[in-house]
Structure 1
Amino acid sequence: MTPQGKNNVRLVELEGAAYREYREHLVRDYAADKVRAGAWSPSEAENRAAKEVDGLLPEGPTTHNHFLYSVRDDAIPAEVGTVWFALRDSGVGQSVWI
């Protein structure tokens, strides 16, 4: 709940250092998830995760039809989350991947 009913949450585009930090965490967490699931060995996980992330976001935060945002709460003030969504065309219509 925000104080006095004011909306203090906003989306800020991820770019530059903020994107690099997000990518680093994303790769590390994705690799760890794959190792825990038994899909990848620990020795290969980080390289494979980086390759997959870079395949999805070849132009980083400016990749066409991909949108990456930091969710900021100005009341704290701090980042409270990250949102990544992409527009997809499935051949029968458009959808959004979140």
Structure 2
Amino acid sequence: MNDVVWLHHSLPRTAWFELTPEEQARREEAFRAQRELSLRQGASRQGRFHVRGQGDYSHVEIWYFPSAEHAFDHWSRLVAAGYTACFEFSNQVGTAAEPAAPSA
């Protein structure tokens, strides 16, 4: 059971749109590789959602991690892959406020 939730809000920076399609594809592949590594290390991704409303971001990703350290490692690897040069972001990490219900 993963008890740590990570909410990642994002919005492409102007620099993202200035990249060639080939460079965007290379960057996306680098980011995908880091996400895949996190999944292999025990994280679970609940999805990426397009969001609208009175906020600063266009997408939110919801992840669960075995620990806050796993979430931090995930983010550190994305940063090293150049993610923050391409996207504005906001991250939130939280723990369960109540125990999860048993699976049926």
Same fold (TM over 0.5): no
Give TM-score scaled by structure 1 length. Answer: 0.31
